[in-house]
C-alpha cells in the first residue's frame, strides 16, 4: 500500500494529500497535541470518501468520518498553544458546572 492510501496526523489536523480533515475521535483523544516526534506522523489507513467528499478512515475495526477543515487561519505556535490551554480550561469549567461543582459567584 503506498502513501496515497494513508492520511497522516499532524499538529494542524489529519492531512490527506495536502488537504486537512478532522474528526471527533481525534479531538477527544487529543491527537493533534503530540501527533509525532522527529517529523514522524501517525499514518491512518484510508477507506475512501463518502458522497459528500468526507474522508472515511479505518480506526481499529471502525470506519470513522473525517470532515474537511475549510478554515485557512495561520497562527503562531505560541498562539495555538495558548488557545488550546484556554479551551481546555473552559471545557473543565463547563464539565464542573454540568456536574454542579462550580459555584456561581453572587453579585
pLDDT value, residue 7: 92
Residues 47 and 95 in one domain: no
Residues 57 and 7 in one domain: yes
Residues 31 and 50 in one domain: yes
Residues 54 and 17 in one domain: yes
Residue 2 has pLDDT above 50, yes or no: no
Neighbouring residues of 32: CB distance < 8 A, sequence distance ≥ 6: 9, 10, 11, 12, 13, 26
Residues 42 and 77 in one domain: no
**Domain carrying residue 19:** 3-72
Residues 44 and 82 in one domain: no
Q: pLDDT tens digits for 4-21?
A: 689 998 888 899 988 889
| DSSP letter, residue 34 | S
Residues 59 and 81 in one domain: no
Q: pLDDT tens digits for 29-70?
A: 888 876 555 566 788 899 999 888 889 999 888 899 999 887
Per-residue pLDDT band at 1 (split at 50, 70, 90): very low
**Overall number of domains in the chain:** 2
Q: pLDDT tens digits for 62-92?
A: 899 999 887 666 767 788 788 888 888 888 8
Residues 20 and 44 in one domain: yes
Q: Rounded CA gap, 100 and 94, in Å?
A: 10
Amino acid at each position: 500500500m503506498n502513501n496515497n492510501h494513508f492520511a497522516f496526523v499532524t499538529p494542524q489536523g489529519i492531512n490527506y494529500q495536502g488537504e486537512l480533515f478532522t474528526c471527533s475521535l481525534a479531538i477527544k483523544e487529543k491527537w493533534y497535541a503530540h501527533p509525532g516526534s522527529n517529523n514522524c506522523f501517525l499514518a491512518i489507513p484510508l477507506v475512501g470518501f463518502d458522497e459528500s467528499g468526507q474522508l472515511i478512515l479505518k480506526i481499529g475495526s471502525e470506519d470513522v468520518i473525517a470532515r474537511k477543515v475549510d478554515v485557512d487561519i495561520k497562527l503562531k505556535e505560541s498562539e495555538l498553544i495558548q488557545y488550546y490551554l484556554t479551551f481546555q480550561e473552559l471545557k473543565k469549567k463547563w464539565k464542573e458546572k454540568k456536574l454542579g461543582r462550580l459555584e456561581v459567584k453572587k453579585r
